[in-house]
Amino acid sequence: MQSLNKMTVEDLDVKGKKVLVRCDFNVPLKDGVITDDKRIRESLRTINYLKDHGARVILCSHLGRPKGEVKPEFSLAPVAAKLSELLGQNVAIAADVIGADAQAKAAALKDGEVMLLENLRFHKEEEKNDEMFAKALASLADIYVNDAFGTAHRAHASTAGVNAFLPSACGYLIQKEIEVMGKALNDPKRPFVAILGGAKVSDKIGVINNLIDKVDKLIIGGGMAYTFMVAKGYTVGTSLVEPDRVEDAKAMMKKAADKGIEFLIPVDNYVGDKFDENCECQLVDEGKIPDGWMGLDIGPKTVELFSNALKGAGTVVWNGPMGVFEWKRFAAGTEAIAKAVAESGAISIIGGGDSAAAVEKLGFADKMSHISTGGGASLEFLEGLELPGIAAISDKK
Ligand code: AMP
């Protein structure tokens, strides 16, 4: 396990210093308009701390996939405008990332002022973690702060390269991620229950294998549950199954049994005659999925089984929906589990990506202790992997 005892912004003397902050401003845009500014609002705490303490703040981020070329549709200009509005002060955007305009604007910053560099991925060197590019980025500033958890699992110049040239610390977002998820993995309040769902077993094998040594109960729902049903010897119609993962599923269930961990999979399912929101639908018990039908959500007996398992939990980690929650007809299972997690009174940690989207869409976001700001990054964290963007931040002395 990597060290999580990292320097934070509060450990730094930032007055009069130029601070390069890696943010996650990868926001959804439609015709140049930001359709959800959540990621920008989430970054304000770190930015406000720095500017209130007299730092000269240089923000940077990627946006979309411009693939190393300057493409105006991926400009961060709309983000600079939104930041200006939210901070109540002008946030200038540089015309480039490490070029003459970025350098001039950075050099002219006064204490408490904030600027934004252009999209880091306008340079192919960013994703290659090119040393010269990282050095050029670092040369704009005196200190580096990483607050982009969503890209912390990537070793890019702005996430893992600049640290070689500057003193570094994490911002509040990364600080909270490593505190909350680190505690869950290393010293959880028990009973510790993990709920895993979503489409694929293959995406979550690493997480299951890591958590199986730490949890008291493991709950499996969503599309990935059908591979476990096949491993138990059931037929599952046309449900999502990964045949090459059946042996892994068997091994996980055996390991759980050997360790005395409760391992729960669905005992009933809503099945459809095709993968379509308006399909014919019926409720069937475990082992009774008819030929030609596919499981699309967990049923009421499963909701009861899973909800009971959550009662009295000390810590819950949840990653992946219980069914095709994007379709209202098949969102009930995910919604019921969100409610059970919220009502369990446990420290509740929701993985980023689809799980976070589901909890937000279903209105339970404010009932959870922590919703991770990174999908892939939170999965890798829960797998126990070292995240390059976190490993590169200086440890506390
Ligand atoms: P993941 O990104 O692996 O967490 O998977 C999330 C996706 O899994 C969502 O888009 C869900 O619609 C999908 N999903 C959940 N349950 C099922 C299911 N029973 N069959 C097919 N897809 C599912």
In whole angstroms, what is the distance from residue 47 CA to residue 335 CA? 34
Q: Which pLDDT does position 148 carry in this prediction?
A: 98
Q: Which residue has the least CA distance to atom 10 on ligand 1?
A: 324
376 is catalytic: yes
| Region 179-382: CATH code | 3.40.50.1260
| Nearest Cα residue to 107 out of 142, 147, 60, 62 | 142
Shortest-distance atom of ligand 1 to CA 269: 19
From 64, 68, 314, 376, active-site residue? 376
Where along the chain do its domains lie?
A: 9-172, 179-382
Query: Within 10 Å of residue 312's Cβ, how many Cβ atoms?
Result: 12
CB-defined site of ligand 1, < 6 Å: 198-200, 203, 222-223, 240, 295-296, 320-321, 323-324, 326, 353-354
Q: Which residue has the least CA distance to atom 18 on ligand 1?
A: 223
- Residue 183: both structure tokens together: 């505690």
Residues 234-254 as b/e (b if ≥16 CB within 10 A, e otherwise) read bebbbbbbbeebbebbbebbe
Q: Which pLDDT does position 361 carry in this prediction?
A: 86
9-172 to CATH, choices 3.40.605.10, 3.40.50.880, 3.40.50.1260, 3.40.50.12280 = 3.40.50.1260
Count CA within 13 A, CB hemisphere, residue 92.
17
Q: Which pLDDT does position 342 carry in this prediction?
A: 93
Q: Which residue has the least CA distance to atom 12 on ligand 1?
A: 324
200 is catalytic: yes
From 200, 301, 339, 361, active-site residue? 200
Residues 189-226 as b/e (b if ≥16 CB within 10 A, e otherwise) read eebbbbbbbbbebebbbebbebbbebbbbbbbbbbbbb
- 390 burial (CB, 10 Å; 0-12 / 13-18 / 19+) is buried
Q: Do the first three CATH levels of 9-172 and 179-382 match, i.e. the same topology?
A: yes
353 is catalytic: yes
In whole angstroms, what is the distance from residue 125 CA to residue 120 CA? 9
In whole angstroms, what is the distance from residue 291 CA to residue 239 CA? 10
- Residue 74: both structure tokens together: 């991926």
pLDDT (tens, 9 = 90+) of the chain, 397 residues, equals: 678 899 999 999 999 999 999 999 999 999 999 999 999 999 999 999 999 999 999 999 999 999 999 999 999 999 999 999 999 999 999 999 999 999 999 999 999 999 999 999 999 999 999 999 999 999 999 999 999 999 999 999 999 999 999 999 999 999 999 999 999 999 999 999 999 999 989 989 999 999 999 999 999 999 999 999 999 999 999 999 999 999 999 999 999 999 999 999 999 999 999 999 999 999 999 999 999 999 999 999 999 999 999 999 999 999 999 999 999 999 999 999 999 999 999 999 999 788 898 898 889 999 999 999 998 999 999 999 999 999 999 999 8
E strands, 119-267, in order: 143-146, 168-170, 192-196, 217-220, 262-264
| Ligand 1 pocket test target in 241, 268, 328, 354 with most atoms within 8 Å of CB | 354
Q: Which pLDDT does position 1 carry in this prediction?
A: 62
Q: Which pLDDT does position 355 carry in this prediction?
A: 87
| Nearest Cα residue to 17 out of 89, 81, 112 | 112
- 334 burial (CB, 10 Å; 0-12 / 13-18 / 19+) is buried
In whole angstroms, what is the distance from residue 33 CA to residue 288 CA? 48
In whole angstroms, what is the distance from residue 292 CA to residue 239 CA? 9
